[in-house]
Amino acid sequence: MKRNIGRIDKADFPQLELFDIEVKIDTGAYTSSIHCKNVKVEDNYLKCNFLDEEHPSYHEKEIVFDEYDVKVVKSSNGIAQARYRIKTEIVLFGRTSEIYLTLSDREEMRFPVLLGRNFLSNKFIVDINRTNLSYKLKLKGMKAEDQKDKIPKQGNAKE
C-alpha cells in the first residue's frame, strides 16, 4: 500500500551518518540526488563530503564508496551531465529503504536532497498540501518513548 508523503520532509541516511536532513519531493525529477563536495576517485574508490560547513548536520567526514557508477542525468535546465551515483539507505516513516542517489553540488539550492520518481514510485502518493509527515511521525514516536521513561515502574510490594 502506498503511503502519503508531503512536498518536503526530513529523512535519515544512517550509512552516511546524516540525520534529519531536509528533502524535497520532486515528481518532475526521475533520479534522486544529494548535495556533496570534494568528489574524487582514488584507486577505484569514490570519496566525497556530504553537505556544506554551513549545514547544521555537516560532519567533515570523508565518506568512501567501493561501489558506484556514473549516470547521465538531465538537470532542470535541460543540460545532460554525467554524475556519480551511489546506493545507500534512507529512513522515512520509520522504515529503511535502499535508494540510489546521484552526487551533485546543490549549494545554491534550499534542499540538500531531492527525491525523484524512481524512488517514490510504488511507495508514496505525494500530497502537495502537506509537509514533514515522516518527521512528525518520528517526533511523535520519540515523545512516546520519553513518556514511557517517565512512567514509574510498579514493583511487587513486599509486606
Partners of residue 22 on adjacent β-strands: 10
Question: What are the pLDDT digits (tens) for 78-115?
Answer: 889 999 999 999 999 999 999 999 999 887 788 999 99
pLDDT of residue 69: 96
- Euclidean distance between CA atoms 144 and 15, whole angstroms: 26
Residue 158 lies in a domain: no
pLDDT of residue 150: 54
Domain of residue 133 covers 3-149
Structural domain includes residue 53: yes
Average pLDDT over residues 28-54: 91
- Given a cut of 90, whether residue 31 has pLDDT beyond it is yes
Q: Is residue 124 part of a domain?
A: yes
Residues ≥6 apart with Cβ < 8 Å to 22: 8, 9, 10, 110, 111, 112, 113
Asked whether residue 156 is domain-assigned, the answer is no
The pLDDT of 37-64, averaged and rounded, is: 86
For residue 24, name the pLDDT band (cuts at 50, 70, 90).
very high
Phi, psi for 157 (deg, rounded to 5): -80, 135
Q: Give domain status of residue 154, yes or no.
A: no
Pairing type for strands 62-65 and 113-115 reads: unpaired
The CATH number assigned to the domain holding 49 equals 2.40.70.10
Mean pLDDT within 116-135: 96
Residue 11 lies in a domain: yes
Q: Is residue 136 part of a domain?
A: yes
The model carries a pTM of: 0.85
Domain count, the chain: 1
Does 158 have pLDDT greater than 50?
no
